[in-house]
Structure 1
């Protein structure tokens, strides 16, 4: 019997629906290796590969994200880490993308997703609840998006996460995400091949309503690790050009 997956439609808020027979038959060319990663601000990225467009953590433009454009882009699947405004604003997205937002195992168009519960604060989840970190393989690349993780990664969580090829890790601190030192510890635990920092202060921030720190606070801690700074908001990644040892990759937002 096929496992039923709990998913919803982003265009209908967070109403859920049970869906079966999600159509795992993809053409061979759609499974070709390679991944395009576009940074849309904060922890929001559009990942294109394996014939699928995946949008992670669309946000509302307020506070630390006030100066970004609204990330209302077309996608087949939307994943959010929580229902907070900076990583779970799904109203108004174009089309009818599927939505997943709770920890668990899902399948969509031949891709399996693991949602892993991590506390969204340093108080056992009592302040901001559960953050969902997402792990999946797309375009031949093992991906981990930690969302707004704030608690250390446990042994059990590490087993589910494995060793990512690409890890999106929050670095800017605040009461609901890793600060620079905590992000460094996550890198040491996960040992990803490529680290893409997220959740840090940029010129998009409303100065009076944003308490997160710039990415350089994290980069300055990571002595001895290569840092690649792209002048674009988009990079292409293929299994053949992944570094063996951890490299930090930053992207540039087009204001």
Structure 2
């Protein structure tokens, strides 16, 4: 990963100061009327809007991601939640995009990004270490990607996460991500408007993965409106519910 342009705040943690990092690719154009979302499998998504292409959690095709194609898509900025192969395989990404991988507050020439440290397992991070949840504004909406969160959201973390318009949340359980029940509890804390489930079992993993199917989460969330779409969609302010929340299901194109 040495060839990547790493951006970090030394010793960054949940209250770290803003590091001003100017880049020519990332500018103040992040505030536009909509954002395009492409689902690339597992917890990996590409969000495009305002001239920005932000890729979150690229992976290698192994284990729970064995049946997904490597996300070889062009991006200006790559955010990773950990350096595990299912959410931090930056070498599969073409070109030389900027990379954020540690918690902290960043300002990339007008684009403010907050990396929030959480535990990647239910044992205080002793097994899988730390997970970084990412928060930023794009397309006029506040976006939160929880990566592989597995622990309850603390008060300090909630303050940094705020009330997102769109949240990408793991729901399939296993040793390093929320179960459907834990995901529901996290959503009750966040009060997010649009919920995009990630990290659940599909035909891509078959018998190689411990995680549960998406229907387990949807059944638990019975009564919450569900919108179903393909592997790509466009979101704007008009899609954000004025009251309550909606679940946006994205499907992977095999």
- When the two structures are superposed, what TM-score results if normalisation uses the length of structure 1? 0.90
| Larger CA deviation: 166-175 vs 238-247 | 238-247
Cα distance in 2, alignment partners of residues 16 and 158 from structure 1: 24
Partner of 2:222: 223
Give the 4+ runs in structure 1 shifted more than 6 A.
none
Task: Return 5+ residue gaps in structure 2 as ranges.
Answer: 10-19
Partner of 2:241: 243
**1:17 deviation in Å?**
7.5
Task: Return 5+ residue gaps in structure 1 as ranges.
Answer: 1-9
Cα distance in 1, alignment partners of residues 8 and 201 from structure 2: 36
Change (3 A) 1:129 1:234: same
Report 1:105-254 matches (<5 A): 105-207=105-207, 209-230=208-229, 232-244=230-242, 245-254=244-253
Deviations 1:23-79 (A, max 9, x none): 57546xx64211001100000000001210000000010111111111010000000
Partner of 1:22: 23
**1:21 deviation in Å?**
2.9
**1:16 deviation in Å?**
5.8
CA contact (8 A) 1:63 1:206 kept: no
- When the two structures are superposed, what TM-score results if normalisation uses the length of structure 2? 0.90
CA contact (8 A) 2:28 2:111 kept: no
Report 1:58-137 matches (<5 A): 58-137=58-137
Partner of 1:12: 3
CA contact (8 A) 1:118 1:149 kept: yes
Deviations 1:113-154 (A, max 9, x none): 000000000000111000000011011010000000000001
Change (3 A) 1:205 1:129: same
CA contact (8 A) 1:41 1:65 kept: yes
Deviations 1:202-245 (A, max 9, x none): 010041x2100000000000021111111x10111111221122
Change (3 A) 1:127 1:226: same
Cα distance in 1, alignment partners of residues 163 and 8 from structure 2: 32
| Larger CA deviation: 238-247 vs 83-92 | 238-247
Cα distance in 2, alignment partners of residues 17 and 213 from structure 1: 34
CA contact (8 A) 1:11 1:93 kept: no
| Larger CA deviation: 183-192 vs 14-23 | 14-23
Partner of 2:54: 54
SS of the aligned residue for 2:202 comes to coil
SS of the aligned residue for 2:238 comes to helix
